[in-house]
Amino acid sequence: MRALVVERLAPAYDGCILKAVPTPSPGAGEVRVRVRAAAVNFPDLLQTRGEYQHRPALPFTPGLEMAGEVDALGEGVEGFKVGDAVVGGARGGAFSEFAVTSARALRHKPERLTFSQAAGFGAAYLTAWVALVRRARIEPGEWLLVHGAAGGVGLAAVDLGKHLGARVIAASASDAKLAVVQAAYAPDATVNVADGFRERVKTITGGRGADVIYDPVGGDVFDESVRCIAFNGRLLSIGFTSGRRPVLPVNIALIKGFSLMGVRAGEFGRQFPELGAENQAAIWTLAGEGRLRPRVDAEYPLADWRAAFESLAERRVIGKTIIRPDL
């Protein structure tokens, strides 16, 4: 089969190569999936450089999320049969024509979602759910400021926030991206952060500030967010796509009475397995009912993996970038 293989850790994906490798066989409790779609996430890019917390032994095939069809079953697997449409993930391996993963990491794909929509749904919406529901406990009518609103995890927060009844402010540094977000998800307001956003957020919220701020960007965006958060607000730290990990001046947190909350959706589920299962059931049920609407920005053949990676790295994406090994 064809697979993208990281043979050495290097910048600019120079250690990656698309090559023929043996098709894997599923072991006990495992399923082999014919990959129809694989989502490209920032952790995938970081893994090619050895900059993500999970560092597979070289060589390895990246790709944390996929959707496809069951191709073979390992010993003891129940609940699936060959040909079933499934979605799920693992610690890697999705950027290939076939991938083997634990049966526990898979679920049946909702009929409402295409393979590409399903592949890009899980991680983004699980992050948004854990952040807004489990950590912030957001209430209907509260103001929610979503940074990076055109990216995968940001757009998921806009979509979920609207479903939960929050008043959503979508923030981005691109008017063109905000126009797409506005047309597709109808946030209550949009803010271009390129020239600062503190006063604009204060105006929108009647001087109160945002009750909940969802920040996958970090850097300067985080620094200014502490200046426009409401008293008793919750600032959710999702990640640092800006490249700079900010430092919180705790005197501001004290004076303004807000909380900083770290969000690791996967680790939340590992620490609290029952709640983790509830989280997964909640988001996939909403997807199956058509209440959440993941957006696919573009699909790339496996041979064009570099272009797919670069679209994400250069922040040209509105929603999710998908690699299609079946093209």
Domain architecture of the chain: domains with CATH: 2-121+294-324 (3.90.180.10), 123-267 (3.40.50.720)
pLDDT at residue number 228:
97
* pLDDT score for 89: 83
DSSP bridge pairs for 144:
168, 212
H-run or E-run covering 43: helix 42-49
pTM for the model: 0.94
pLDDT value of residue 41: 93
- Tell the burial category of 29 from Cβ atoms under 10 Å away from its Cβ (0-12, 13-18, 19+): middle
Contact 118, 108 (CB under 8 A): no
> CB of 143 within 8 A of CB of 319?
no
Q: What is the pLDDT of residue 161?
A: 98
Which stretches of the chain score pLDDT less than 50? none
